Amino acid sequence: MKKVVKFGGSSLASAAQIKKAGQIIREDESRRYVVPSAPGRRYSDDVKVTDLLYQCYDAAMSGEDITEKIAVIKGRYDEIISGLELDLDLTEEFEVIRDLFMRKAGRDYAASRGEYLNGLVIAEYLGYRFIDAAEVILFDEKGAFDSEATNELLRRRLENVERAVIPGFYGAMPDGSVKTFSRGGSDITGSIVARAVRADVYENWTDVSGMLTSDPNIVDNPEPIETITYRELRELAYMGATVMHEDAIFPVRREGIPINIRNTNRPQDPGTMIVESTCRQPKHLITGVAGKKGFCSINIEKEMMNSEIGFGRRVLQVIEENGISFEHTPSGIDTFSILLHQSEFAEKEQAVIAGLHRAVQPSSIDLETDLALIAIVGRGMKAAKGTAGRLFSALAHANINIKMIDQGSSELNIIIGVRNDDFEEAIRAIYACFIDSDI
């Protein structure tokens, strides 16, 4: 059995947290490859080391003296090192970092030092081999992650390494300069390593006991999700329900490696298993409900639209030419609507309207703003009867008007549009109907 374990910033924010992670790792000898984040927040208004590094680098770029800022960052690591009683001195590392900051080594280089240094500390603490991610995670000249070259290199590199720490979040470009993934990107590194070593499971240790069936800021104490498929996760994540970086599923997904989201502060909890597919029946008809505010709808009307071939294509071409991505296109006989992110649309609004007039000569174009989309996601809905009926009656009882309905052909989700103002109430009504009082 081989496990890759990634620990997030809050799991490694202090010596006490690192000790918890260490215990988790030592408890199971199959936890052989460790991917750490940079130290995160120790308390709610603390600053993550990654943010301190960005601030420090920006200060260096504007010609400020960074002695104090570097000392604060070094202080964070020194506190960890002494708390873990390690015989490790990062003075020289910090001299190099300071020097390279002054020589404008780049913001990515700056940010990556959080993971790099934490990797050194954790490798020392565990007695594992340290492998610098800059040597094994490759980006191409354009800065795009090179998945195949990385997989090959990393696979060979780790073949004969029994146990290693590989810092998350960064890699290197062909010229050797450091490049990071987007924020939260250590999750991606963990997934890449899991793929390369063909792990049995990719454990992602964080500060929650898995994914929840709904947003805890809206629903009181939502139930955790035991098992979710990659496809369900993608639907929910798209609607903002995230426990990890969205791109982290791709490397493991192609190898069919499950992800287990776990809580470093409650290792006894089983967390959420994210799998390719499963025979396990979901506990409820729906796996989760999530949504987002801030959409708008362009409603186009034209007589005899139904017989006009190419109408939809011409409309969507206008959207494309304006560089906007659309979410849904509900249509009627003589109506065609396009749902878009309001913020993306707002600045191009008049150009889009003019473009649509030129492209399809509509009878009218009407805009509707401040809409929210809610996705009800669940593999259990496939072929289940009455799901939509229950959903609509739950919303009707909550006195909520549904502006749009879209059921994907996979029957994995039903998406509805409501007014922004009704959003929270709608989520609560759906949760109460499908999860709280599910039979």
Smallest gap, in angstroms, from Cβ of residue 107 to ligand ASP?
Answer: 12
**Helix (H) or strand (E) segment spanning residue 35:** strand 31-36
208: alpha, beta or left? (left if phi > 0; alpha if psi -120 to 50): beta
Instruction: Decide if residue 191 touches ligand ASP (CB under 6 A).
Output: no
Using the rule CB under 6 A, which residue among 10, 50, 260, 413 binds ligand ASP?
50
User: CA nearest 376: which of 408, 406, 415?
Assistant: 415
Q: Which is nearer to ligand ASP, 94 or 116 (CB)?
A: 116
Using the rule CB under 6 A, which residue among 3, 31, 32, 48 binds ligand ASP?
48
Instruction: Decide if residue 271 touches ligand ASP (CB under 6 A).
Output: no
Collapsed DSSP state (helix, strand, coil) of residue 105:
coil
Q: Which is nearer to ligand ASP, 93 or 334 (CB)?
A: 93
Structure tokens at 87: 């015989």
Q: Which is nearer to ligand ASP, 184 or 258 (CB)?
A: 184
Q: Which is nearer to ligand ASP, 50 or 413 (CB)?
A: 50
Instruction: Decide if residue 244 touches ligand ASP (CB under 6 A).
Output: no
Applying CB under 6 A, the site for ligand ASP has a residue count of 13
Smallest gap, in angstroms, from Cβ of residue 49 to ligand ASP?
Answer: 7
Q: Which is nearer to ligand ASP, 50 or 337 (CB)?
A: 50
Instruction: Decide if residue 417 touches ligand ASP (CB under 6 A).
Output: no
Q: Which is nearer to ligand ASP, 52 or 275 (CB)?
A: 52
* Chain-centre distance for alpha carbon 41: 19
Instruction: Decide if residue 403 touches ligand ASP (CB under 6 A).
Output: no
Residue 203: phi and psi, rounded to 5, are -95, 125
Instruction: Decide if residue 206 touches ligand ASP (CB under 6 A).
Output: no
Instruction: Decide if residue 19 touches ligand ASP (CB under 6 A).
Output: no
User: CA nearest 146: which of 160, 156, 136?
Assistant: 136
Written as one letter, the residue type at 250 is F
Q: Which is nearer to ligand ASP, 168 or 291 (CB)?
A: 168
Q: Which is nearer to ligand ASP, 33 or 423 (CB)?
A: 33
User: In the beta sheet, which residues pair with residue 368?
Assistant: 297
Q: Which is nearer to ligand ASP, 50 or 264 (CB)?
A: 50
Instruction: Decide if residue 378 touches ligand ASP (CB under 6 A).
Output: no
Written as one letter, the residue type at 124 is E
Structure tokens at 83: 């708390």
Q: Which residue is at the shortest CB distance from ligand ASP? A: 186
**Helix axis angle, 107-126 to 67-83, nearest 10°:** 20
- Burial class from Cβ neighbours inside 10 Å (0-12, 13-18, 19+) for residue 427 reads buried
Smallest gap, in angstroms, from Cβ of residue 240 to ligand ASP?
Answer: 18
Strands 259-263, 201-206: pairing is: parallel
Q: Which is nearer to ligand ASP, 154 or 285 (CB)?
A: 154
Beta strands, E only, 149-221: 164-165, 170-172, 178-180, 201-206
Residues 129-168 that bind ligand ASP (CB under 6 A): 168
Residues 83-122 that bind ligand ASP (CB under 6 A): 114
Smallest gap, in angstroms, from Cβ of residue 263 to ligand ASP?
Answer: 16
Q: Which is nearer to ligand ASP, 9 or 291 (CB)?
A: 9
Using the rule CB under 6 A, which residue among 3, 4, 5, 9 binds ligand ASP?
9
Using the rule CB under 6 A, which residue among 13, 34, 38, 319 binds ligand ASP?
38
Instruction: Decide if residue 204 touches ligand ASP (CB under 6 A).
Output: no
* Distance in angstroms (rounded) separating the CA atoms of residues 133 and 34: 12
Taking CA atoms, 395 is separated from 199, 391, 416, 425, 433, in Å, by: 44, 6, 11, 9, 9
Site string for ligand ASP, 161-190 (x = CB under 6 A): -------xx-------------xxxxx---
Using the rule CB under 6 A, which residue among 14, 17, 37, 150 binds ligand ASP?
37
Structure tokens at 400: 């909520």
323: alpha, beta or left? (left if phi > 0; alpha if psi -120 to 50): left
Structure tokens at 335: 């109506």
Instruction: Decide if residue 380 touches ligand ASP (CB under 6 A).
Output: no
Smallest gap, in angstroms, from Cβ of residue 74 to ligand ASP?
Answer: 17
Looking at 297-362, list the stretches that DSSP marks H as alpha helix, in order from N- to C-terminal side: 311-321, 342-346, 349-360
Q: Which is nearer to ligand ASP, 53 or 376 (CB)?
A: 53
Beta strands, E only, 239-302: 259-263, 272-275, 288-301
* Distance in angstroms (rounded) separating the CA atoms of residues 161 and 416: 50
**Helix axis angle, 107-126 to 49-61, nearest 10°:** 140
Q: Residues in the site for ligand ASP, rule: CB under 6 A?
A: 9, 37-38, 48, 50, 114, 168-169, 183-187
